[in-house]
Amino acid sequence: MTAQLRASTLPQRTAWALAAGLCVAAAAALAQPTASAPGAASQASGPTGPVPNTLAQRVLACTGCHGASGRAAPDGYYPRLAGKPAGYLYNQLLNFRDGRRDYGLMSDLVTPLSDAYLRDIAGHFASLDLPYPAPQAPTVPAEALQRGQRLVLQGDAQRGLPACTACHGTRLTGTQPAVPGLLGLSRDYLNGQLGAWRGGQRHAQAPDCMADIARRLSTDDIHVITQFLSAQVMPADTHPAAALPGPAPMRCGGLAP
């Protein structure tokens, strides 16, 4: 989910103080217990009157960073949540809570939350069907884009690199139940995540296949891959595919049911 913060124009101490305050307020909102099942329309008292005690109301704590309805933040570092496979979102919430992904604001937000509650949050955002942003114009020559396209669509067998489409789907919109789409994400975010896996800052459930793949990629590989992905127009069907297009190319903990 949250990757890293773009440098702020505020003094660093002030920026982090504001971020910490936001995290505390968000955690308090997200952790509000329901009087009945998640989504129940009970109410709590707020400064401007009754506040519905529903899951949709409580996940406003998430959209403060991830954009309205989880569409993604304009700075490119807080990724889209809407429409991603529920299993993927749930796995990432677990990874933040259990220490496999390290970003203080996210970890503090989800640490008190149960597995069942995290599943509810993941299911809520997965159910949202919202438009995607326009693609980004590439900033590299056509030859570099073509190399990125080959790595995405064909991989590199000599280096043990499977095609991205082998897991993320032929449309690159993800596959159920737990593989995210690669389109509609900012180039900065894609660079940040591949770099974090390659450098050991991001982890997933073992066996961590994405970390293995990222370590086989050069910096230039990552650059051309993300240039290609971020320049693609979303297909007519933006939803995750129902299943992998074929057998998984390698063992991957994220693919476990």
Ordered DSSP codes for 191-216: HHHHHHHHHTSB--SSS-HHHHHHHT
Which segments of the chain have a pLDDT < 70? Answer: 1-49, 51, 256-257
Same domain as 120, residue 17: yes
37: Cβ–Cβ under 8 A, 6 or more apart, which residues?
Answer: none
**Residues spanned by the domain of 75:** 12-126
Asked whether the beta carbons of 181 and 191 are under 8 A apart, the reply is no
**Pick from 223, 200, 92, 75: which is nearest to 147 by CA?**
223
- The pLDDT tens digits for 175-187 are 999 999 999 999 9
pLDDT at residue 20 in the model: 41
Please report whether residue 136 resides in a domain.
no
Residue 96 · residue 67 · CB < 8 Å: no
Helices (H), the chain: 12-30, 55-58, 60-66, 86-98, 104-110, 115-126, 142-153, 165-168, 187-199, 209-215, 219-230
| Of 62, 97, 126, the domain-final residue | 126
Question: How many angstroms separate the CA atoms of 180 and 176, rounded?
Answer: 8
Number of independent structural domains in the chain: 2
3-state secondary structure of 183: coil
Q: Tell whether 58 and 97 lie within a shared domain.
A: yes
157 shares its domain with 228:
yes
pLDDT of residue 46: 56
Do 163 and 87 belong to one domain? Answer: no
Q: What is the pLDDT of residue 75?
A: 78
Same domain? For 118 and 30 the reply is: yes
- pTM of the full structure: 0.81
pLDDT (0 to 100) of residue 16: 36
Tokens of 51: 């506040």
Q: Rounded to an integer, what distance in angstroms lies between the CA atom of residue 88 and that of residue 122?
A: 8
Residues 1-57 have pLDDT tens digits of 443 333 333 333 333 333 444 444 455 556 654 433 444 445 555 556 676 788 889
- pLDDT, residue 51, reads 67
| pLDDT at residue number 18 | 38
> Is 132 part of a structural domain of the chain?
no
Task: Write down the pLDDT at residue 52.
Answer: 79
**The pLDDT value given to residue 54:** 87
Q: What's the pLDDT score for residue 256? A: 54
Using alpha carbons, select from 33, 61, 3 the residue that is nearest to residue 190.
3
Residue 138's nearest CA partner among 232, 224, 231, 233 is 231
CATH classification at residue 159: 1.10.760.10
